[in-house]
Structure 1
Amino acid sequence: MSAFSVDSSGSFQHLIDTVLFDYTVNTLLVIAGVLLLSFCFALPSAWFIACCDFPSRSILQWALMLPLAIPPYIVAIVYTDLFDFSGPIQGFLREFMHWQSVHDYYFPDIRTINGAILVLSLTLYPYLYLLLRGAFLGQSGGLFQAARSLGLSPFQAFKRVSFPLARSSMAVGLSLIAMETLGDFATVNYFAVHTLTTAVYDTWLELGSLTTAAKISSIMLLALVILISLESYSRRKQKTYQRSGATHTDLRFVLTHGKKWGVLTFLWSLLFFSFILPLSVLIYYALGYFSESLNTQLWQYTLNSFWLAIIVASLALLLALLLNFYQRLAPGILSKMTIRLSSLGYAVPGTVIAIGVLIPFTSLDLWLNRQLVEFGFSRVGLIFSGSLFILVFGYLMRFSAIAVGSIESSLAQVSPTLDLASRSLGQNVGQTIRRVNLPLIKKGMLTAFILVFIEAMKELPTALLLRPFNFETLATYVYQFVSDEMIEYAALPALLIVLMGLIPFIVVNRLLEKDC
């Protein structure tokens, strides 16, 4: 309701008169650029991995997903340090070419909207790659071979057969990337690109106008609703049934000579610039500044991040189990709507979630303190909005959709006849869930837990806006150093974020590769 209240400070009208249009244009440009570049990265990668055979394919098929473990703002730190005017790349060029000043040569500025688009694309393309790879692997290879037998070249067969069949997965992947881009704060802020997300942060913490921040958040939420609606509407009549016959896995064709080396160069270059290079730079700086970075604060913030992620992942898993079993045991409109509403949180940027969570809990705290004073008791302070409770609640709102989706897909593979068989043998509902359902979906439960854990470890906007006083996570700790241009000191905590996300990410991937 704050979005519809009167802004007495005049901040929102001032933004409309000055910079809101520019912020909106920047937001649209960043989203469009990231979608285009991510598409160029993910589509050929998914096709080559799914449908071609070449050396190191078995390594690349999972390694190309590793950039998901690195937060975009950490890649932004690395690339800025490498390619800035004072960085080693330009320094080497000036020394090698004997250039004296910046006027003697041209080098693209990394701290621009183009730099933000590049960094976000390098870290977000795996969302689309994963979905497209799955789509291509599931397609009937016989359709592709039939197109080839009719005289079409491999590219023509891909364009007219494989690509249209993967449209649904492509739309979902691009929607995810658009949502992640819209919700990004640290990367665009570090590159000095003003978007609607940075406007929410600035108007809240710098101008002190929560009403203005709520109004901007409502604009972003409306844009998300329109985006999701358009994506669903575009696929309303699309139905594809093409699982019969041999798959692309069965009919994978071997690349030879120039094609093989071209594909290898493209895929390994993509992996190098999106994961290997940022990780190597972090390791180099972390080792060089290890003694300066290793302190009691680092260990405290690591424990804060770890336990916060554990708590959020556990609660998200519990919530997902409750909602999905409620839908399974009592199917209907209410249970279906509950599942869908719980899945909207991940589509909403962290800054918008923070606004939506803080306003009602602040009002609740104020009401509670007034009631206590009226009954003769002393104030208890901000027990909801000023404690760790609101941060956990904000994280849960943001990431529970991941757990709900994972449990929903796992539970859908468990036949209802198993439940009926268990009940016919005298087992009640609780025993059926404990002895039949839970053992069959334990892989999905572990996947849900680890994925929420990884996202909670990386989350920055929600933590920046909702964390209690004197509470820091690794993400906010890194952001402090980055804001002060102390990149070397940010390397070790940033590396810890990557490693604590990378290890469980590899575990999830290995689980998904198994047949059982």
Structure 2
Amino acid sequence: MPVLRRALNGAPLWSVAVLIGVAILVLAPLVSLVRIAAQGESTLWAQVTVDVLPAALLDTGMLLGGVAVLAGSVGIGAAWLVTAHRFPGRDLLAWLLPLPLAVPAYITAYIYVEIFDAAGPVQMGLRVLMGWTSRADYWFPEIRSVPGCILVMSAVLYPYVYIASRAMFLTQSASMIEVARTLGAGRFKLFRVIAIPLARPALAVGLSLALLEALNDIGASEYLGVRTLTVSVFTTWLNRGSLAGAAQIACVMLAVVILLIMVERYGRRDRRYSLSTRRPRTTQPVRLSTAGGWLATLLCALPVFMGFVLPVGFLVREVIRRGLLTQFDATFVDHLLTTIGLSGTATVVALALGIVVVTASRLAKLHLTRAALAVAGIGYAVPGTVLALGLLNPLVALDTSIGSLWRSLTGERIGLILMGSAVGIIVAYVIRFLPIATGSLSAGLDRVSPGLEDAGRILGARPRELVLKIQIPLLRPALASAALLVFVDCIKELPATLLLRPLNTETLATLVYGHASRGAFEDGALAALVIVLVGLLPVIQLVRSAENRPKTAAGSPSS
């Protein structure tokens, strides 16, 4: 027992047990998924590999490759322009460029189809202007295609690359840039030889997040006719009624996720870039010429227009033109309250578990706790469709156990408690978005000086008092940020909600999806606009923290 106490380093045994339990909770659906896939007949796997996987892998590969190129180019290019140069509107654009992150990809896809399809205002205007009488008289890029899906995904996912790259550029040492300029390097060579290699870790992180989001998406891909692995899992499970076949495809998706994580780790291997502690001087932006400045303004404004202004403008126009504010009735309020209730509950649970997980791993520095913390952090990388499919058996098994216990105690039968309610959705939300809470709280806790905790121990404080009286009060900003991020991600989550929701249960996301599936997306414009407006809050908070942190560092006195 004394050996165990020394190993726990003051961490309560129950908190370590919770940490291990969270890791088991994350692993359970993945293990269940593999079991379901293994139960399928060999002929089923042969059919999947012939009829489904080739087309799904091809579409998924082209989509991820296209998003990597387009979103990566836009994100890192815009970050370099607004960080290293001065031009008209630069300060405003630095704030506007991350805003497309608030618009879910499936909402952007629905809007782009309405605008750029053959019956949309763009092609109709071209036909009127040029005198064309039918679609056969001209060629126009098809929005319902893989390139169209790449455009939609990139328009809303490039901010992942932009935010990570800009944070890296803002903290780059000025000496590297100045030496390169002294040696005759021009702007493009500086960007190619200095900026991109230094931003490789940020680029790897941002791109991996963007690609994981693209892989998780179901609404945009399905609506645009792109048969990705996610869409294939959905159609194989629900339309073809083959649970084992869907699980087999989901296992392939897990392999793709593991590959993306490995690529991200490889992209930032052994890379450590930091400011000198003796002279924390960062790069000063260089003013562009008049023509170059306006070109930079245009290049930075275009992604903001495509990813935020155009979708939001369309939604506002439809709400006003159709008088959709009248939809704000008792039914809509019920859907809104359902969305808030599910997201709020999942946020509270994720934050509570996050505090226990982070504090336990900080106190008990064991190999077991480190491994459990790493496992607990993989939930965000698991697509919602895969998570929903993997949760079926564990939830049904728990329902069966609860039903058996209740029958032995009361002699009465009860129905499905977990699968027949919203508990399954909340569990999926918690598993998927717990890493956001733990990541934010870990970053906040790293800023707490160990000296404060040591002083508390000297004064006789117990671990519980250290957490309640020192760590949590100092974690309030990180808690608020984590709560905001988790809450909004829960509101936007579509695949897991769509597959695990009980009958007659609608969230704002499924409401928008339902209208789009019936070919009347405009009728869901109000719900879509509410999702976007709520999503703006964490994006603004994210930009504010990213902009302020480097300024604080740069403003510190030289030694």
- Please say if residues 144 and 158 of structure 1, whose CA atoms lie closer than 8 Å, have aligned partners that are also in contact: no
Indicate how the Cα distance of structure 1 residues 507 and 116 shifts in structure 2: closer, same or farther if over 3 A, else same.
Answer: same
Indicate how the Cα distance of structure 1 residues 153 and 23 shifts in structure 2: closer, same or farther if over 3 A, else same.
Answer: same
The separation in 1 between residues aligned to 2:121 and 2:320, in whole angstroms, is 18
Q: Does 1:183 align with 2:206?
A: no
Query: Which residue of the partner structure matches residue 86 of structure 2?
Result: 53
C-alpha deviations, 1:208-231, integer Å up to 9, x for none? 222211111111112211221233
Structure 1 segment 217-296 matched on structure 2, within 5 A: 217-244=250-277, 249-289=282-322, 290=324, 293-296=327-330
User: Which of these residues, 157, 181, 194, is aligned with residue 190 of structure 2?
Assistant: 157
Query: Which residue of the partner structure matches residue 88 of structure 1?
Result: 121
| Equivalent residues, number | 516
Deviation at residue 355 of structure 1 after TM alignment: 1.1
Structure 1 segment 354-433 matched on structure 2, within 5 A: 354-369=388-403, 377-433=411-467
Give the aligned residue type for 2:539. Answer: F
C-alpha deviations, 1:339-382, integer Å up to 9, x for none? 21111011110001111112211133234435655778232111
Indicate how the Cα distance of structure 1 residues 484 and 379 shifts in structure 2: closer, same or farther if over 3 A, else same.
Answer: same
- Please say if residues 2 and 215 of structure 1, whose CA atoms lie closer than 8 Å, have aligned partners that are also in contact: no
Give the aligned residue type for 1:418. Answer: L
- Please say if residues 450 and 508 of structure 1, whose CA atoms lie closer than 8 Å, have aligned partners that are also in contact: no
C-alpha deviations, 1:379-427, integer Å up to 9, x for none? 2111112211111001101111111111111111112111111222333
Deviation at residue 318 of structure 1 after TM alignment: 1.2
User: Which of these residues, 333, 349, 361, is aligned with residue 327 of structure 1?
Assistant: 361
Query: Which residue of the partner structure matches residue 484 of structure 2?
Result: 450
C-alpha deviations, 1:19-53, integer Å up to 9, x for none? 32111111111000011100121111111122222
Structure 1 segment 305-324 matched on structure 2, within 5 A: 305-324=339-358
Deviation at residue 169 of structure 1 after TM alignment: 1.0
Give the aligned residue type for 1:220. Answer: M
Greater shift, 78-87 or 333-342, is seen at: 333-342
- Please say if residues 224 and 348 of structure 1, whose CA atoms lie closer than 8 Å, have aligned partners that are also in contact: yes
- Please say if residues 139 and 243 of structure 1, whose CA atoms lie closer than 8 Å, have aligned partners that are also in contact: no
Structure 1 segment 32-47 matched on structure 2, within 5 A: 32-47=65-80
- Please say if residues 69 and 498 of structure 1, whose CA atoms lie closer than 8 Å, have aligned partners that are also in contact: yes
Query: Which residue of the partner structure matches residue 56 of structure 2?
Result: 23
- Please say if residues 323 and 338 of structure 1, whose CA atoms lie closer than 8 Å, have aligned partners that are also in contact: no
C-alpha deviations, 1:285-310, integer Å up to 9, x for none? 01122155333221111111112111
- Please say if residues 41 and 125 of structure 1, whose CA atoms lie closer than 8 Å, have aligned partners that are also in contact: yes
Q: Does 1:65 align with 2:90?
A: no
C-alpha deviations, 1:72-95, integer Å up to 9, x for none? 111111111011111111111111
Scaled by the length of structure 1, what TM-score is found?
0.95
C-alpha deviations, 1:133-160, integer Å up to 9, x for none? 0111111011110111112112212222
Give the aligned residue type for 2:489. Answer: E
Give the aligned residue type for 1:308. Answer: L
Give the aligned residue type for 2:435. Answer: A
- Please say if residues 142 and 247 of structure 1, whose CA atoms lie closer than 8 Å, have aligned partners that are also in contact: no
Deviation at residue 205 of structure 1 after TM alignment: 1.3
Query: Which residue of the partner structure matches residue 499 of structure 1?
Result: 533
The separation in 2 between residues aligned to 1:12 and 1:190, in whole angstroms, is 27
The separation in 2 between residues aligned to 1:363 and 1:139, in whole angstroms, is 53
Q: Does 1:211 align with 2:244?
A: yes
Indicate how the Cα distance of structure 1 residues 147 and 314 shifts in structure 2: closer, same or farther if over 3 A, else same.
Answer: same
Q: Does 1:141 align with 2:144?
A: no
Query: Which residue of the partner structure matches residue 339 of structure 1?
Result: 373
Scaled by the length of structure 2, what TM-score is found?
0.88
The separation in 2 between residues aligned to 1:367 and 1:94, in whole angstroms, is 64
The separation in 2 between residues aligned to 1:321 and 1:371, in whole angstroms, is 32
Structure 1 segment 76-155 matched on structure 2, within 5 A: 76-155=109-188
C-alpha deviations, 1:228-269, integer Å up to 9, x for none? 123324543333344457667552212221111110011111
- Please say if residues 216 and 385 of structure 2, whose CA atoms lie closer than 8 Å, have aligned partners that are also in contact: yes
Indicate how the Cα distance of structure 1 residues 457 and 248 shifts in structure 2: closer, same or farther if over 3 A, else same.
Answer: farther
Q: Does 1:471 align with 2:505?
A: yes
Q: Determine what percentage of the aligned residue pairs are the same residue.
A: 36
What are structure 1's unaligned runs of at least 5 residues? none
- Please say if residues 38 and 124 of structure 1, whose CA atoms lie closer than 8 Å, have aligned partners that are also in contact: yes
C-alpha deviations, 1:439-461, integer Å up to 9, x for none? 22211111111000110110000
Indicate how the Cα distance of structure 1 residues 375 and 439 shifts in structure 2: closer, same or farther if over 3 A, else same.
Answer: closer
- Structure with higher RCO (Cα < 8 A, 6+ apart): 2
- Please say if residues 51 and 249 of structure 1, whose CA atoms lie closer than 8 Å, have aligned partners that are also in contact: no
Q: CA RMSD in A?
A: 2.0
SS of the counterpart of 2:414?
A: coil
Give the aligned residue type for 1:65. Answer: P
Greater shift, 371-380 or 287-296, is seen at: 371-380
The separation in 2 between residues aligned to 1:68 and 1:207, in whole angstroms, is 34
The separation in 2 between residues aligned to 1:465 and 1:9, in whole angstroms, is 26
Give the aligned residue type for 1:326. Answer: A
